[in-house]
């Protein structure tokens, strides 16, 4: 709790906050960071393996192998989410599973699974982007702003 909010509490509320803080379990921050690093590293290593597969067997170069690699990783993430496996991996790996594209795919897939009983159009289609929608909007808007800035900088540089 911030110190400004704590000043507004009466003595009984402050005493309760101290009581609760003393009994709050300590989080294993270092262990959580190590597990996140391992989980994210394994996901990225699998992605690298998939990319090498496309480069070796389908004659993609490093740049063009990225798109099908991301598609396969997303597909694997959605399948693991539907089977309930990704949730267990995310419980153990924490932020290591949330940061890569697999975390984004898991978010969309789990939101659609939660609303499957409402039907495919209004349930799955209408609710799967509730969590991911703001991320998509922010990404598109940010890309637009960066593109405008890039055009302006290039046009001013040519003068």
The domain tally of the chain equals: 2
Do 109 and 143 lie in one domain? The reply is: no
- Rounded-to-integer distance, Cα 32 and Cα 104, Å: 20
If asked whether residues 71 and 134 sit together in one domain, one would say no
Give the distance between the most distant pair of CA atoms in the chain. 71
Rounded to two decimals, the pTM is: 0.71
Q: Please state the rounded mean pLDDT for residues 131-148.
A: 88
Cβ atoms of residues 73 and 67 within 8 Å: no
Between 111 and 92, the more confident residue is 92
Are residues 33 and 84 part of one domain? yes
Angle between helix 101-114 and 66-82 (nearest 10)? 40
Helices (H), 24-128: 29-57, 66-82, 85-93, 95-98, 101-114, 126-127
Average pLDDT score, the chain: 88
61 CB-near residues (< 8 Å, 6+ apart): 55
Same domain, 33 and 47: yes
């Amino acid at each position: 709790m911030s110190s400004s909010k704590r000043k507004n509490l009466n003595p009984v509320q402050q005493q309760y906050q101290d009581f609760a803080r003393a009994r709050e379990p300590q989080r294993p921050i270092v262990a959580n960071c190590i597990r996140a690093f391992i989980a994210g590293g394994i996901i990225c290593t699998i992605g690298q393996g998939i990319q090498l597969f496309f480069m070796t067997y389908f004659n993609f170069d490093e740049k063009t192998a990225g798109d099908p690699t991301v598609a396969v990783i997303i597909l694997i993430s959605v399948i693991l989410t539907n089977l309930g496996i990704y949730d267990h991996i995310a419980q153990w790996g924490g932020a290591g599973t949330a940061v890569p594209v697999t975390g984004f795919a898991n978010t969309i897939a789990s939101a659609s699974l939660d609303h499957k009983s409402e039907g495919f159009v209004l349930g799955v289609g209408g609710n799967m982007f509730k969590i991911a929608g703001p991320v998509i909007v922010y990404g598109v808007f940010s890309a637009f702003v960066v593109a405008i800035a890039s055009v302006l900088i290039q046009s001013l540089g040519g003068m």
